[in-house]
């Protein structure tokens, strides 16, 4: 279920998060997630979690997000729906251990929309298509690493208060 590649041994200032969803009738459930921690533009560790049990998946994700909250590590997602979907699934599963007011979050799709003058079709591309459009190598790279690469490309062009 959980593959940790490196232990926490360095400061981790950014946490890149990709959520995996499964549609069941009219509802979506979270069936997995990928996290990539980064400091000084270097990956410090990666974690991948997939489970058929949503509560188990959410519990392990909450553990990581609580760590981010305590250590002032910003969380970056790709899609604008990720955090609202996560909040909804936590509410449905009656999990209230994470205070989102203490969590610093940014969404790459929203940053691109707010701070860059790009056609709407580019703003709404999948993570792989956006990486291709920005000439970032997508071969043999997992989604969360693409998110990190995309963020590294745009971060110097963002206002300092954003992330």
DSSP string, 62-112: HHHHHHHHHTT-EEEESSTTHHHHHHHHHHHTT-----GGG--EEEHHHHH
- Kindly report the pTM of this predicted structure: 0.87
pLDDT tens readout for residues 41-93: 889 999 999 999 999 999 999 999 999 999 999 999 999 999 999 999 999 99
Q: Is residue 69 part of a domain?
A: yes
pLDDT tens readout for residues 127-146: 888 888 888 887 877 789 99
Q: Is residue 40 part of a domain?
A: yes
For residue 62, give the nearest of 40, 149, 70 by alpha carbon: 70
Q: Is residue 163 part of a domain?
A: no
pLDDT tens readout for residues 15-39: 999 999 998 877 889 999 999 999 9
Which CATH number covers residue 125? Answer: 3.30.420.10
| 6 touches 44 (CB < 8 A) | yes
Q: Is residue 24 part of a domain?
A: yes
The number of distinct structural domains making up the chain is 1
Mean pLDDT of the chain: 87
């Amino acid at each position: 279920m959980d593959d940790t590649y490196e232990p926490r041994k360095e400061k981790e200032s950014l946490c890149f998060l990709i959520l995996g969803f499964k549609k069941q009738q009219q509802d979506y459930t979270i069936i997995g997630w990928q996290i990539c921690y980064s400091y000084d533009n270097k990956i410090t560790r990666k974690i991948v979690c997939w489970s058929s049990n949503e509560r188990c998946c959410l519990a392990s994700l909450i553990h990581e997000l609580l760590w981010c909250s305590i250590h002032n590590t910003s969380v970056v997602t790709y899609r604008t729906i990720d955090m609202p979907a996560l909040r909804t699934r936590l509410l449905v599963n009656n999990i209230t251990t994470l205070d989102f007011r203490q969590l610093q979050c940014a969404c790459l799709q929203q940053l691109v929309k707010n701070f860059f003058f790009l056609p709407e079709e580019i703003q709404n591309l999948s993570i792989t298509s956006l990486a291709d459009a920005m000439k970032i190598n997508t071969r043999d790279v997992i989604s969360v690493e693409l998110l990190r690469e995309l963020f590294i490309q745009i971060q110097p062009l963002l206002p300092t208060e954003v992330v």
